[in-house]
């Protein structure tokens, strides 16, 4: 604010100097009769049209004034663009800080949940297993039936432990992504949502031959589908969800890309992509971290959707 006031003062001072210099030059011309002297000097040189020199100089001065005005207008437009870019940069930095804080909170929540489940579930199961094993070792169980009952209790507890460990592993790592590949892992993810949302129709068109995608691309595509389906379950109230995953050539560069599209027919979100929460921002960040593009779409009649373009590794593209 202070700099703008200072710039206005400098501009007014320069304008006063221009007016004063113009008045001084006018008084000098009057005192020296400059026009008469120029006329007397150019009149004998009529064949060279030197009498047109004042008009030419006046036109040149006007053209230079127009040139300066154009440069000043362009400078203002450039300054406005830079201010807009700086505002976007500040907004992006603030959003990145929010994402970093949200990531830290999510990590802490996940660790807290894992610690609670390990303590409550695994701890109790291991303690029960130890008690049954100690009873069998000490011979406290009288008769074959009691021994079988203790052994069956150990077997049941072991099965329960396996289910707990399997659930924990599934939460930490998508099941089947390493062994079966991305298409099978996505089908497994969608099947889970079919069981949770029986009233929603899921349509998937996943290309099987995607090539050898790298680890980062695989996990990013999986997390995008997972986050998109989570948003739909929370907010969309949709009846139909469509998921398309295929590869194609980029329209601008011609390089191979993998395209992921997700659409639903729900109520959508009145907020745009900038205000749709950290879920959309997180998905955009994941895609842009791999030099991809992310487009959040809002259908006219409602509905949520996004499209992600990710470059394919050279080995996968070949």
Share of the chain above pLDDT 70, in %: 79
The secondary structure element, H or E, covering residue 297 is: strand 293-298
Mean pLDDT of the chain: 77
Write down the pLDDT at residue 273.
43
Greater confidence (120 vs 88) lies with: 88
The alpha-carbon radius of gyration of the chain (Å, integer) is 38
Write down the pLDDT at residue 211.
64
Does residue 244 carry a pLDDT above 90? yes
Greater confidence (211 vs 28) lies with: 28
The average pLDDT across 70-94 equals 89
Q: What is the DSSP code string of 164-175?
A: HHHHHHHHHS-T
Instruction: Identify the weakest region by mean pLDDT among 66-75, 85-94, 130-139, 182-191.
Output: 130-139
Q: Under 8 Å CB-to-CB from 205, ≥6 apart: which residues?
A: 242, 243, 244, 245, 246
CATH hierarchy code of domain 98-172: 1.10.287
Query: In 3-state terms, what secondary structure has residue 257?
Result: strand
Write down the pLDDT at residue 84.
92
Instruction: Identify the weakest region by mean pLDDT among 73-77, 94-98, 121-125, 186-190.
Output: 121-125
Greater confidence (151 vs 171) lies with: 151
Residue 167 burial (CB count, 10 A): 12
51-60, pLDDT tens digit by residue? 666 777 778 8
13-41, pLDDT tens digit by residue? 877 887 888 788 778 777 877 777 777 76
**Domain residue ranges in the chain:** 2-96, 98-172, 182-317
Instruction: List, in sequence order, every residue forming a beta bridge with 311; answer none if it has no partner.
Output: 257
Greater confidence (317 vs 255) lies with: 255
**pTM for this prediction:** 0.55
Alpha-helical segments (H) within the chain: 2-32, 34-42, 53-117, 123-138, 144-172, 182-196, 215-231, 278-289, 314-317
104-146, pLDDT tens digit by residue? 777 777 777 777 777 677 777 777 777 777 777 676 555 667 7
CATH of 182-317, one of 1.20.1070.10, 3.60.130.10, 3.30.390.10, 3.30.565.10: 3.30.565.10
Of 309, 194, 207, the C-alpha closest to 240 is 194
Task: State how far the Cα of 193 lies from the Cα of 229, in Å rounded to an integer.
Answer: 8
Write down the pLDDT at residue 274.
44
């Amino acid at each position: 604010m202070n700099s703008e006031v200072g710039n206005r003062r400098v501009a007014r001072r320069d304008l006063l100097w221009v007016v004063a210099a113009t008045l001084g030059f006018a008084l000098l011309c009057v005192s020296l009769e400059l026009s008469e002297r120029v006329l007397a000097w150019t009149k004998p040189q009529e064949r060279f049209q030197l009498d047109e020199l004042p008009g030419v100089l006046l036109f040149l001065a006007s053209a230079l004034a127009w040139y300066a005005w154009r440069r000043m207008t362009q400078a203002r437009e450039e300054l406005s663009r830079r201010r807009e870019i700086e505002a976007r940069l500040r907004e992006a930095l603030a959003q990145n800080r929010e994402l970093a804080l949200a990531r830290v909170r999510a990590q802490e929540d996940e660790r807290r949940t894992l610690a609670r489940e390990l303590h409550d579930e695994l701890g109790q199961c291991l303690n029960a297993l130890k008690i049954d094993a100690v009873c069998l070792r000490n011979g406290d169980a009288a008769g074959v039936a009691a021994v079988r009952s203790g052994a069956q209790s150990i077997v049941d507890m072991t099965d329960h432990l396996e289910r707990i460990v399997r659930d924990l592993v599934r939460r930490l790592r998508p099941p089947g992504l390493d062994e079966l590949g991305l298409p099978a892992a996505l089908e497994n993810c969608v099947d889970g949502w079919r069981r949770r949302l029986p009233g929603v129709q899921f349509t998937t068109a996943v290309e099987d031959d995607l090539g050898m995608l790298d680890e980062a691309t695989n996990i990013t595509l999986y997390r995008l589908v997972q986050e998109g389906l989570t948003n739909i379950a929370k907010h969309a109230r949709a009846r139909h969800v469509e998921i398309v995953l295929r590869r194609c050539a980029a329209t601008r560069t011609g390089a191979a890309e993998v395209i992921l599209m997700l659409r639903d027919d729900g109520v959508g979100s009145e907020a745009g992509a900038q205000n749709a929460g950290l879920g959309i921002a997180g998905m955009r960040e994941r895609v842009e971290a791999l030099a991809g593009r992310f487009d959040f779409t809002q259908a006219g009649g409602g509905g949520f959707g996004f499209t992600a373009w990710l470059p394919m590794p050279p080995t996968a593209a070949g």
